[in-house]
Structure 1
Amino acid sequence: MLFLLLMIIALSLTVQSHSYHKSKVISSANFLTGGVYQMTSNVEGYFNLKVQNEELAKENARLKSLLFNLKDTTKIADIDSIKGVKKIDLIVSQVIKNSYTNQVNFLTLNTGYKQGVKPEMGVINSLGIVGVVENTSANYCTVLSILNTESPINAKIKKSNHIGSLIWNGKSTGFVQLVDVPRLASVRKGDTIVTGAQSTIFPENIGIGTIDKIYIDNETNFYTIDVKLFNDMTSLGHVYIIKNRDREEIINLEKKSEKDE
């Protein structure tokens, strides 16, 4: 025991008085403690995998529920049991240019007719509608934003199904206006506004926003409603272009009926 004690004292004095020996001891200690810390971290990480997986699953479920607002809307991608295909296809795209300071604003996306994009296709993201495809090139397309004063979109009050036309008064980028809503409709601040059933561009019940202010036109007996958008139209990333397989059939049928009249 005395020998061991003397040897430890001698080693300590040697290490303290020689920088080379001291650096070697510190390096070895760091190596050992680093290895221990890494092993501890790996063990803790392994046992935390279940918790992390649960959190990822919750986040995934939340994002999927946001996509097309599934809790509040009908399913967009219903399967056609006869053809075995989806009635509505989604083309994933990304906004590469965004204007929102003009009266008629456009977006530029990085997909075009090579990817199946055509004019008059609806564009949405996980929060709601974004706009309508205007023109296409091989790999790009321009989209008429909902922040425009020239292209009304069919919309409705979700809880009552009363319809109106969605326009923009050119003022705030966070609000659009729902006009021509009949006075008999029950409207309240906070009510949800969604796409209507009279459009072949957007599926019914895609989210738009919530009622913020209500104005009454005494001359026409219609409401004009300020709608607070779900989307921040000044900050858009990935979007989805909707291809409605039934649109051309519906349009051709309606044109034929108009000719018959």
Structure 2
Amino acid sequence: MQQILYFFIKNSYRLLFLLLLGISFALIIQSHSFHRSEYINSANNLTGGVYENINSINEYLSLKEKNEVLAEENTRLKELLFNKKDTLLNLKKLKLKDSLYYTVTKAKVIKNSFNVKENFLTINAGEKDSIKNSMGVINEKGIVGIIEKTSKNYATIISILNTELKINAKIKSSNHFGSLNWDGKNVGYIQLIDVPRLANIKKGDSIVTGANSDIFPENIPIGKIDQLFINKQTNYYTINIRLFNDMTALGYVYIISNSHKEEKQKLEKETLAK
């Protein structure tokens, strides 16, 4: 208490000056409309700037929630897209999951390896979300991989950057098929092998998922042709593809379930057995 009193006594002249200065400003503002207007404008500019900064901070803090909403919306849109054929979908059927050829579930990548030859990812969705082995995984730019193992709350994905994984893919402009298989060298590129030499292809052509796949819908983007050469051992094309996806920076992904896969595979197995 003594220190506070000592402070006021020591600085009494300065405090009195500031008090009188404040009273003077107040009298000037009240008695002159011009000064009052300038004061109000200055105050509005100051508070407006403060509120704008606060709003920017609030918007930044709400990005996580907004990303969640966008991911949910993308899930619904992708489900519509994958099930759309030549005609519009029946809206009544869209309410029933069982009537859809493909269903889509969103998840977030919580672990991602890309610096070894057999890379895997982990997502925060599992058996409780109806995630099963051998489902396809994509994001907004293209394919990511295939579900390998699941637990109640998590699942692991074989990344397309895994030398053991092969995926059916095609050249979009010609419909010639091949097998997508990473050579283990560059994380920005993947290889399409076993493409017949009669295929009419050129640098810059798009590579997409093929119709032979039971895991992915047809025409999911993969990348563009960067280089191509003839494999002397097989006499087929080997094509170097620059990926659309940055596999080192993955956030939300979408897991695709093909409800007709088992029926198709069973029929094909029975046909081959005869």
- Alignment partner, residue 215 of structure 2: 201
Deviates more, 1:209-218 or 1:195-204: 209-218
Secondary structure (helix, strand or coil) at the match of 2:137 reads strand
The sequence identity of aligned pairs, in percent, is 48
Pairwise CA distance, 1:22: 2.1
* Cα distance per residue 1:138-170 (max 9 Å; x no partner): 010000000011121000000000000000110
Deviation at 1:248, TM superposition (A): 1.5
The equivalent position to 2:202 in structure 1, one of 183, 188, 201, is 188
Question: What's the CA shift for 1:77?
Answer: 3.2
1:18 corresponds to 2:22: no
Name the counterpart of 1:98.
112
Alpha-carbon spacing, 1:35–1:208, altered in 2? closer, same or farther (3 Å): same
Q: Aligned residue for 2:41? A: 33
Gaps of 5+ in 1: 1-16, 42-59, 69-73
Q: Report if the CA contact (8 A) 1:80-1:86 is conserved.
A: no
1:179 and 1:223 in contact (8 A); partners too: yes
Q: Deviations over 1:52-83 (max 9, x none)?
A: xxxxxxxx9xx97xx87xxxxx9313346895
Unmatched segments (≥5 aa) in structure 2: 1-15, 30-35, 50-69
Give the Cα separation in 2 of the matches to 1:117 and 1:22.
Answer: 72
Counterpart-to-counterpart distance in 2, 1:163 and 1:209:
14
Superimposed CA distance per residue, residues 78-135 of structure 1 (whole angstroms, 9 cap, x where no aligned partner) = 3468955432111000000001111111000000010010000000000000000000
Deviation digits for residues 6-29 of structure 1 (CA, Å, limit 9, x no counterpart): xxxxxxxxxxx9311323538x87
SS at match of 2:83: coil
Deviates more, 1:173-182 or 1:28-37: 28-37
1:193-224 alpha-carbon deviations (Å, 9 max, x no partner): 00000011000000000000111124432110
Corresponding residue number in structure 2 for 1:75:
81
Query: As a proportion of its length, which structure holds more helix?
Result: 2
- 1:172 — aligned with what? 186
Contact 1:91 1:241 in 2 (8 A): yes
CA shift at 1:246, angstroms? 1.1
Q: Match of 1:193, as an amino acid?
A: I
Count, aligned residues: 219
Q: Does 1:141 align with 2:147?
A: no
Counterpart code for 2:81? K
2:63 paired residue number = none
| TM-score between the two structures when normalised by the length of structure 1 | 0.75
Q: Secondary structure at the match of 1:151?
A: coil
1:230 counterpart residue number: 244
1:40-55, aligned counterparts within 5 Å? none
How far apart are 1:38 and its partner, in Å? 7.5
Deviations 1:215-240 (A, max 9, x none): 11244321100000000101100000
Classify the secondary structure of the residue corresponding to 2:199.
Answer: coil
What is the root-mean-square deviation in Å for CA atoms of aligned residues? 3.1
Q: 1:103 and 1:193 mapped to 2: Cα distance?
A: 22
Cα pair 1:194 1:209 within 8 Å, conserved: yes
Post-superposition offset of 1:34: 4.8
Cα distance change of structure 1 residues 99 and 219 upon mapping to structure 2, 3 Å threshold: closer
